[in-house]
Chain A
């Protein structure tokens, strides 16, 4: 990541990833209501095309190389030093691909029941916003996308959600916006304080990260301003309370996207903008983040165990899973950060699929109460089979994708954050507890009268779930292509951190750096 290496491509792939959905949304919104079917086709085609470009980016990406690829830079607001600067590296690559894959699946597979056109338009705008956030290399541009994402999501929850949707949507909007408020000041402050000697202000991420030299306390304040926004987005304990509401009240498609990619904006942001811009402060704040992540893992798991609503179980499991990702990020070792990034994808796939399955249950039974569901395995064995695979992936059973990320995080963190990992590892066990218990109550025993007519998985639903299952198995069995693409970027990021903060990754030979013992954290520079 030191010098942005540019792949000479004439094809503005990343710009298209953003502009294509915007265009699609505009077209969908403008098609007259009578021709709703055309709008559906247009929406689907747009998202498929965007997904195809995202996958092309994924496969054409030169693995094993650090630095940004597909860079495109155009001036936007010259007076303020803001440019349309896009690029993708190992840290954002997989998230871009995940976004590209999830959206067409959700658009094709989940029916919003009413106002299809508006729903589609919001979905496509959401896709543009998420894509933009992942590929922006300009602080201002990133903020624009990061914040604009709120609007479509707000309307998706508010317009197509369940009973408490207004409350959930408003809470989601205000929580996230409150976090962003600090980040906006942080972004401006970063640009102003990093002003070059010639007085030119720039919001360019790479330039600021490589050239700026903040005073220690300044860097910490700035880091805090960014970190609050991302901590809300992740969400990190104790800022997570918007998540169960938003996830539960959102329509199924919204939940999938929310869990699948929106939360990743937080973990991605922590790494890209927190750690990369303010290495010293990130190292300084490690104990706080490790602790909050660990609390989140345990808290989320316990809370998930106690839920009566199946969707809330999945929602709280997200809190726990995201805790693992943050743990990996702030363990600041190559394996842990890579594991965290891979866990981003795994969580998106498996939790996305879980939300789809829960949505299907709701479609059939019009309830998500665990106590109302019983013995579904008897009447719908194929459905139960899919649910089992996805659930096992979420638990982190070896051979499925969830295991890879979690294992890499745990093993990578052990050297640098031993005590936190020790506690966090119990979260893995509780995860097995709450998911298996929920499964047992919903799928086992004999179905009662209400559940005995539970329809089996339909062909279309199977087609929707199949790609998820393929990904779950493939990433679990052969994660190497992913790791190859992610690791160089992570290593160069960590080299950047080590160079600027005095942090050093523990080598396998000397597993624990004495200064990193929790007891001796206070007063560390």
Chain B
């Protein structure tokens, strides 16, 4: 009986090499979970070393795959469920960078907070796995599974600071809201499947080409499906009005986890959004483009304004992250003028932005991790007061990163913003471009506030009694990498702009 089924069932041909980054991550995660559970406490830095190695391996494989895509063009894998193109590889590289940096950050963090090491790192690996699969998914089902893989790992990571109630609370909050949004997304997938008869992103267009005139029922269902999918993805990227979780979760989560969410998770969600909207649902571009534009405007303005009025640095950076998502949405809007292709200025501006922002935010939160001190709690603006006097080098690095986030020239942040503005201008979305820049000015005030606190705020009695800020070596390395990348791309953007897909 069993043999009969095997005879009938067609198993997909697997391109093991193309899937190797995912397998590396999965393997490393499993090893760490299983071995970590069975062995006595690991020596210091071992878990970090394994995660770093996995991250570097993914990076190297990513570069090789990049060359392969360059030579042979994009290809579909696993029965057309996964797309291997430059976007996928780009996300791989972001995930690799994110893994290396975040594992280094959480190395010192885990020791300081006395938190279990291998488990945390295993979860990072799984989240990165989900992120890459999400960015590469060519099937809405795979996309959903990847999204859930990433999200479930993140829910646990957010709540992983066992002695901090804020962490637990934000984990629960994220879980409830995240689960709700996943359900919304899944409902959207169901409706779209009903309308197009396919869950494969590249096949939806073909399905539609055959039946150009959808009957009105179908059309309504499709539009509802598109709307629900956008809501689901907008939640993941933290776009207004689906941003309410961002501030609480970013603030409550252990700081390294926050940096991972703001970088790798956000990047993956944006790549998935580009793929689904432009390729799968490109037919409805004229319908959803205004929605994206409205989301972008709201996200920009609300993000920047809310960021300015916060007094907690993590909350500030959370809202600033919302505002940055608005910038990326401006790029998505520009890309949506040319649906059906992923080779527009809009797409590359979004990809450039997510990479640049990921590196920036990983460095910024690494500094916050160092400053937050024992218990990961002192993240108020006051905690940064006098950092310029006590730790001038780290304060200078933070200043560079903040200026980059503000979009000051000669930093990578400016290059990214310029790319998005160019893309928007290229599609004549003047209003969006102007609003984006104006909200960048509003947001600049928030970065200035942190800089003022570090450099020029007068010391207050009791400042000396605070425990000194300890910057562990791994964190210093993360910050150094981030700053080096920021300045290099800022001064010589040519190479990076040239290779952005």
Min CB distance, B384 to chain A, in Å?
Answer: 14
Question: DSSP majority for the A interface?
Answer: helix
Per-residue A-contact encoding for B407-448, CB less than 8 Å = 1, 0 else: 011100010001001100110001001100110110011001
Residues of chain A lying within 8 A (CB to CB) of residue B183: none
Tell me whether A59 is interfacial, beta carbon within 8 Å: no
Tell me whether B455 is interfacial, beta carbon within 8 Å: yes
Given A144-B410, A147-B409, A189-B425, residue A170 in contact with residue B448 (CB < 8 A): yes
Q: Which residue of A lies closest to B388 (CB)?
A: A159
Tell me whether B46 is interfacial, beta carbon within 8 Å: no
Tell me the bound Cα distance from A208 to B337 in angstroms. Answer: 26
Indicate if the CB atoms of B408 and A181 lie closer than 8 Å. no
Min CB distance, A148 to chain B, in Å?
Answer: 5
Indicate if the CB atoms of B425 and A159 lie closer than 8 Å. no
Per-residue B-contact encoding for A138-171, CB less than 8 Å = 1, 0 else: 0010011101101100110011000001100110
Residues of chain B lying within 8 A (CB to CB) of residue A361: none
Tell me the bound Cα distance from A269 to B409 in angstroms. Answer: 18
Residues of chain A lying within 8 A (CB to CB) of residue B493: 77
Tell me whether A41 is interfacial, beta carbon within 8 Å: no
Indicate if the CB atoms of A158 and B494 lie closer than 8 Å. no
Indicate if the CB atoms of A148 and B494 lie closer than 8 Å. no
Given A143-B409, A173-B448, residue A166 in contact with residue B456 (CB < 8 A): yes
Given A166-B452, A188-B425, A192-B425, residue A178 in contact with residue B438 (CB < 8 A): yes
Indicate if the CB atoms of B494 and A77 lie closer than 8 Å. yes
Indicate if the CB atoms of A148 and B408 lie closer than 8 Å. yes
Per-residue A-contact encoding for B274-303, CB less than 8 Å = 1, 0 else: 000000000000000000000000000000
Tell me whether B403 is interfacial, beta carbon within 8 Å: yes
B437: which of A148, A155, A169, A181 is its contact (CB, 8 Å)? A181
Tell me the bound Cα distance from A207 to B448 in angstroms. Answer: 37
Tell me whether A185 is interfacial, beta carbon within 8 Å: yes
Tell me the bound Cα distance from A341 to B323 in angstroms. Answer: 41
Tell me whether A177 is interfacial, beta carbon within 8 Å: yes
Tell me the bound Cα distance from A76 to B418 in angstroms. Answer: 15
Indicate if the CB atoms of B444 and A177 lie closer than 8 Å. yes
Q: Which residue of A lies closest to B432 (CB)?
A: A185
Residues of chain A lying within 8 A (CB to CB) of residue B440: 181
Per-residue B-contact encoding for A171-185, CB less than 8 Å = 1, 0 else: 001100110011011
Q: Which residue of B lies closest to A185 (CB)?
A: B433
Tell me whether B497 is interfacial, beta carbon within 8 Å: yes
Tell me whether A437 is interfacial, beta carbon within 8 Å: no
Indicate if the CB atoms of A80 and B441 lie closer than 8 Å. no
Min CB distance, B353 to chain A, in Å?
Answer: 15
Residues of chain A lying within 8 A (CB to CB) of residue B426: 192
- Residues of A77-103 contacting chain B, CB below 8 A: 77-80
Count of A-B contacts judged by CB separation below 8 Å: 81
Indicate if the CB atoms of A174 and B445 lie closer than 8 Å. yes
- Give the interface size class of chain A: 20 to 34
Residues of chain B lying within 8 A (CB to CB) of residue A151: 403, 408
Indicate if the CB atoms of A148 and B410 lie closer than 8 Å. yes
Indicate if the CB atoms of B445 and A150 lie closer than 8 Å. no
A158: which of B408, B433, B452 is its contact (CB, 8 Å)? B452
Tell me whether B498 is interfacial, beta carbon within 8 Å: yes
B408: which of A147, A178, A185 is its contact (CB, 8 Å)? A147
Residues of chain A lying within 8 A (CB to CB) of residue B448: 154, 170, 173-174
A184: which of B403, B418, B445, B457 is its contact (CB, 8 Å)? B418
- Residues of A495-518 contacting chain B, CB below 8 A: none
Question: DSSP majority for the B interface?
Answer: helix
Indicate if the CB atoms of B455 and A158 lie closer than 8 Å. yes
Q: Which residue of B lies closest to A150 (CB)?
A: B408
Tell me the bound Cα distance from A143 to B426 in angstroms. Answer: 19
User: Chain B: how many interface residues by the 8 Å CB criterion?
Assistant: 28
A181: which of B410, B430, B441, B452 is its contact (CB, 8 Å)? B441
B422: which of A80, A143, A155, A181 is its contact (CB, 8 Å)? A80
Tell me the bound Cα distance from A78 to B414 in angstroms. Answer: 17
Residues of chain A lying within 8 A (CB to CB) of residue B497: 77, 79-80
Tell me the bound Cα distance from A184 to B430 in angstroms. Answer: 12
Min CB distance, B413 to chain A, in Å?
Answer: 12
A188: which of B403, B421, B494 is its contact (CB, 8 Å)? B421
Indicate if the CB atoms of B437 and A182 lie closer than 8 Å. yes
Q: Which residue of B lies closest to A141 (CB)?
A: B409
B498: which of A78, A166, A188, A189 is its contact (CB, 8 Å)? A78
Q: Which of A148, A155, A181 has the most CB of B within 10 A?
A: A181
Residues of chain B lying within 8 A (CB to CB) of residue A191: 422
Residues of chain B lying within 8 A (CB to CB) of residue A76: 494
Indicate if the CB atoms of A174 and B444 lie closer than 8 Å. yes
Indicate if the CB atoms of B408 and A174 lie closer than 8 Å. no
Tell me the bound Cα distance from A173 to B406 in angstroms. Answer: 12
Residues of chain B lying within 8 A (CB to CB) of residue A177: 441, 444
Q: Which residue of B lies closest to A79 (CB)?
A: B497
Tell me the bound Cα distance from A151 to B400 in angstroms. Answer: 10
Indicate if the CB atoms of B425 and A181 lie closer than 8 Å. no
Q: Which residue of B lies closest to A190 (CB)?
A: B425
Indicate if the CB atoms of B437 and A165 lie closer than 8 Å. no
Min CB distance, A262 to chain B, in Å?
Answer: 16
Min CB distance, A292 to chain B, in Å?
Answer: 22
Given A147-B409, A181-B438, residue A188 in contact with residue B418 (CB < 8 A): yes
Residues of chain A lying within 8 A (CB to CB) of residue B438: 178, 181
- Residues of B429-479 contacting chain A, CB below 8 A: 430, 433-434, 437-438, 440-441, 444-445, 448, 452, 455-457
Q: Which residue of A lies closest to B452 (CB)?
A: A166
Contact residues of A with B, CB < 8 Å? 76-80, 140, 143-145, 147-148, 150-151, 154-155, 158-159, 165-166, 169-170, 173-174, 177-178, 181-182, 184-185, 188-189, 191-192
29 contacts between A and B (CB under 8 A): A76-B494, A77-B497, A78-B494, A78-B498, A79-B497, A79-B498, A80-B418, A80-B422, A145-B409, A147-B408, A147-B409, A148-B408, A151-B408, A155-B455, A158-B452, A158-B456, A159-B455, A166-B452, A166-B456, A169-B452, A174-B441, A178-B441, A181-B438, A184-B418, A185-B430, A188-B421, A189-B433, A191-B422, A192-B422
Contact residues of B with A, CB < 8 Å? 403, 408-410, 414, 418, 421-422, 425-426, 430, 433-434, 437-438, 440-441, 444-445, 448, 452, 455-457, 493-494, 497-498
Q: Apart from A140-B418, A170-B452, what 8 extra A-B contacts exist at CB < 8 Å?
A: A77-B497, A144-B409, A174-B444, A177-B441, A182-B437, A184-B421, A185-B437, A188-B421
- Ranked 7 nearest A-B pairs via Cβ: A181-B437, A144-B409, A188-B425, A158-B456, A185-B433, A178-B441, A192-B425
